[in-house]
Every structure is written in C-alpha cells, then in structure tokens.
Amino acid sequence: MSGSHIRLNQATHEWVIYAPSRRKRPQELQSATVELHDPTECNHCPFCRSIPDPDDPILLEIPGTNGSQWQTRVVHNKYPALSADVTPKRAFSGIYLQLPGYGHHEIVIEHPDHYQNPATMSLQDVRAIVESYRQRYLELMKIPENLFIIIFRNHGKGAGASQRHPHSQIIATPIVPRHYRWREDEAQRYFDEWDHCAYCDMLEFEMGDRHRVVSENEEFLAFVPYAAEVPFEILILPKTHNADFGSITPHQMTAFASILKAVLEKLYLKLGNPDYNYAILTAARYRINQPQLHWYCQIRPRLTTAAGFEMGSGISINPSLPEVDAAFLNGLSGE
C-alpha cells in the first residue's frame, strides 16, 4: 500500500500513520542565512496571500480588523497526513491490522502578518485563533467517523514547524491513540478510587499551593505540573469541569485566549522565543460527558533532547525543577 494508511503495532497496540505525501513538504523557510525580517520570505509564503488560492478552498475565515481583509483562515493542509477521500474500513494483512489513511488535516493561518506569533499578537488576535479552533472542532465532530480530534501548534524549526508564518493545525482521526486512551483510563481509575476528577483535584491544590502557578484568571489556571517531564512544561486547565473543548463559551474563549497569550509571552520574553509545541487535548468521541475527563492545553518548550534512556525506558529526565521554572517565569529568583 503506497498511499496514506494506518497500521497497528500488534505488540504494543499503538497506531502508526504512514503518509508518503508528507515527503513533498516545503523546506523550512527560516534558516541561518535568512534575516529575522527578510521581506523575501513573504514572496514564497503560501499563507501570506491576500487573495485565496482558487485550488485551496477556505474552510473558515474570520474577518479582519484595522483594514485587514481577514484575521484568521482555515484551509486544507496541502501535504496531509490523512485524507477524507477514503473510507476507514479495517482490514488484515496477514496477522497485522491496517486501514486506509482516513481523516482530516487542516491548517489554521493565525494572522495576515508573516512575522507575528501569539506572544506578540493582541488579545483580539489570539481570541480569533481560539474561535477558529472552536468552530472547526465543532464541524469536524459532526462527522461520525472522526473519533479523535487534536488541535496543536508547532513553533520553530526545532518543534517541527515547516513555515515561519504563524499557523497551527487540526487533525481528526478514525482511531483513538493508545497514548491518549491510557490518559483516559488513568483518569477513570482515579475517579473510581476517589470519586473526584484528578484534574479538578490538581487545580484545587495548585491554586492553594501557588508554588508552580504561572498565570491565572477567572476561568483558567496555568501552572508547571508537579511532575513536569520537560523544563518549563505548562498546563492550562479550565476551572470549570468539562471534558469537551467544543463546549467552551464566548466568555471562556476570551479568558483562554488571555491566559494562553500571557503564558506564551512569558516564554517568549524569559526564554528568548524558544521552540515549543502546544496541544489542546479534549475527550474522544462518546466520552465528552464523562465526569472523570477534563480538557486542557499542554505547552512543551523544546529546550532539551530525549536520549537513549528516555527512549528505552519511557521515563523522562528533567534537569529543571518545576518550582524553579515557575519562579523564573514569574520574575522571581527561582532559588
């Protein structure tokens, strides 16, 4: 099978997506020979176009302000990992299970300005990004074959970004990754033992303890987790228990945009605009109303490289204490 498809590892029960078309992805535009604001970058950037590509339909566009024709746009990824043109029918190849590479892979173009990023945007700009996430998430959840949706952002070459222009991505799959299913199962185990949501308990403790809190508003708390796996890892959790990102209210969208911008701005200023990944992790289909699950945003700067021990054991080695990281981001001594 030469096209995009999904295979199951029978020994670990983990799914692997094979996407040969991704070999055609453009090279990273940012390089050592490119100046920070070299205008020639924009000449080759597919996201800078004021007029849409007629062969690339716009899935969603939020109108711009201050004279801009648009603020955010959502389009199909031209080099998708998955495609909606096939049927996710499982089949065996000998002892192995596979299915065609069904799914949706979309790009959220976050701003008309090639050199912006959420840390430097206005609150209104970041809220438009969150609104784009919500609208596309709800549309994709209308499709029964989509069992799992992840919204994520790769910032910087070291985090896997292939374009400098500010953008994030949304992928919907017909399978639930084992890694995420394990998180759901652990949340279920905690709920069965304590009759509480583990994330709600973490929220309550962190709001009282304060040693790892990085930012807070009426609706959300951002903190370095007690067992952070990498330096300056940050979780943003809604204070209101909810498993489904799609249920976010207009007021909560503004609050989420505010705390997301605040956290990314701290990383930008304190760590010198580091490469990072963030992901919005929400319940898989059929589990959005379950009391043990809680959606959240996870941010992981790319400051260290996992080596052989981490790869072989699955245990992270973090050279930085969470309490020290939080103190540093808050402008304290960290000692």
pLDDT > 70 fraction of the chain, expressed in percent and rounded:
91
pTM of the model: 0.91
CA distance 45 to 32: 18
- Number of Cβ within 10 Å of residue 165's Cβ equals 22
Asked if residues 150 and 281 have their Cβ atoms less than 8 Å apart, the reply is yes
pLDDT digits 0-9 by tens, 217-256: 999 999 999 999 999 999 999 999 999 999 999 999 999 9
Q: Which of 153, 1, 163, 5 is nearest to 83 (CA)?
A: 5
Residues in CB range of 184: below 8 A, 6 or more apart: 283, 284, 287, 292, 293
Cα–Cα distance measured from residue 39 to residue 41, given in angstroms and rounded to the nearest whole number: 5
Q: Which two tokens stand for residue 311?
A: 């790869």
Domain spanning 1-24+37-335: CATH 3.90.700.10: no
pLDDT confidence bin for 315, thresholds 50/70/90: confident
| Least confident segment among 62-76, 208-222, 276-290, 297-311 | 62-76
The per-residue pLDDT for 25 is: 55
**pLDDT tens, residue by residue, 141-175:** 999 999 999 999 999 999 999 889 999 999 999 99
Instruction: Give the tens place of pLDDT for each residue, 111-146.
Output: 999 999 999 999 999 999 999 999 999 999 999 999
The model's confidence at residue 288, banded by pLDDT at 50, 70 and 90, is: confident
